[in-house]
Structure formats: C-alpha cells, structure tokens
Amino acid sequence: MEGLDPERLPRHVAIIMDGNGRWAKKRLLNRVAGHEAGAESVRAVIETARKIGLSYLTLYAFSKENWQRPEKEIQALWQLFRRFVRSERPRMIENEIRVRHMGDSDGIPQDVYAEFQALIRDTAHFDKLTVNLALNYGGRHEIAQAARRFAEEVRAGLRAPEEMTPEVLGSYLMTADMPDPDLVIRTSGECRVSNFLLWQIAYAELYITDTLWPDFREAEFVEALREYQRRERRFGKTSEQLSEERLAPPV
C-alpha cells in the first residue's frame, strides 16, 4: 500500500465506529439507513486490513450502552448484523480471516447469535487476520468480570491475593491471547473512548477523524495508518532513552 512501511504496521488496530446516525440525518434518511451504509465500511476496512497484512482488528459494533436506544432501532441492528454475517461468511473463509466475539451473549437474539457462532466456529482455524467484533461489550464490565474470576479462584484456593499483578489481570481479559491495540481510531470527531478496551488501550496511539463511519473506507483507513507511522511511541520513556535503545547493539 503506497506510503506505508510494512515493517512498521501496528499489530492490532481497534476502531470505534461512530457517526451512522449523523450520516443518515444529513441525508434526511432514518438511522437504519446509516447503519446499513456503515456495514459497507466494515466490509471495506476488513478487506483493507487483510490486504495490507494486519494481524488483529477489533471493531466496536454494539456496546452495553447501546441497549438504551429505541427498541425498533436495536431490532433493526440485530437483523442487519445477521445479514452481514451471512453475506460475509464466504469472503471470510476465502480470505482465511478468523472471526471472534468480544462481549456477552445475554440479550442477543438467539437466531442472530447462532448465526454468529457458526461463523466463529468455521473460521477458528485461520490465522491470516483476526477480526474481533465487540458485540454487547463494555470495558468496565470486562474488567469487573476478570476481577470476579480471579476472586473466585482465590476463594477456591487456586490463587493467592498477592499474586494479582497487571499482567495477571490481563490474563483474565477477553484479549488475553493477543497483543494490546497499538492504534485506536475513532470516527465522527468525538474525543472519547466510550468504555472501549479501557485496560488494553493504556499506551495505544489515538487517531480521531471527523469522517463519519459510513464514509470511512480504504483511503481513510490507510491515512490513519500513515499517521500512526509518523508518530514516535514512547511508552513513558524520553526521546533520549528511545534514541539510546535504537543505537544499542543487538544482544
């Protein structure tokens, strides 16, 4: 891909897909039309990620807070998601893309969840690109669940309280077997993380664009990756320390 250094690509990109409703409102359409257009952007971003060789892509598809939306919109979202899973299944398999679910199954319509689980099973052995769909997900809820699981093991005598470290807690999260996001993209210009991967994005680079999600396609995605490559990631270190590390001879 022009302008991208394949040696400096992020391993894991996470995207907060925002702006479907505003996109529809600008065009005097209902919100469902915005979600339908947004589904096309999901397809484009997954295809681009596979083409350039990303390893992990996490998409914030439906949050715990989204249950507060009007019932008709929620039902339309689930049916749209079901159609998307059906239509994309052959493409996911052909391109050897692994699909995973991050979030809870509670509340997701049974027929939708069954379709989703079938796709997850059929792609579980692929390793070209892993797409995590954060569906019925909340960052605080995920951390609370992780802490609860650790506490239950302490109560059962399997662990001791003093064993708790950031690394141990991380091993109880839904992303335990993958790297933390290097880059978080948020569309529509909003400057907040909206309860998304709160633990995992501690040192992620943030990229905020005014582009509404239905207009976010390959060109916008590649520009976000270019911006990522223009930045110096410090992880709390000074630029002098980073320079010394780069100049140090290999061990």
Residues designated as active site: 18, 66
| 65 in a known ligand binding site | yes
| 152 in a known ligand binding site | no
- HSE at residue 1, side-chain half, CA atoms within 13 A, is 23
| 18 in a known ligand binding site | yes
| 99 in a known ligand binding site | no
Distance, CA of 203 to CA of 116 (rounded, Å): 31
| 22 in a known ligand binding site | yes
Q: Which helix (H) or strand (E) holds 196?
A: none
| 36 Cα distance to chain centroid | 19
Q: Which helix (H) or strand (E) holds 213?
A: none
Q: Beta-strand (E) ranges in 103-231? A: 129-137, 183-186, 205-208
Query: CA nearest 12: which of 185, 137, 135?
Result: 185
| 69 in a known ligand binding site | yes
Greatest CA span in the chain, whole angstroms? 61
| 19 in a known ligand binding site | yes
| 87 in a known ligand binding site | no
Identity of residue 108: I
Q: Beta-strand (E) ranges in 93-188? A: 97-102, 129-137, 183-186
| 13 in a known ligand binding site | no
| 189 in a known ligand binding site | no
Instruction: Report the binding-site residues for substrate.
Output: 19-23, 31, 35, 63-65, 67, 69, 186, 192-194
Instruction: Report the binding-site residues for Mg(2+).
Output: 18, 205
Instruction: Report the binding-site residues.
Output: 18-23, 31, 35, 63-65, 67, 69, 186, 192-194, 205
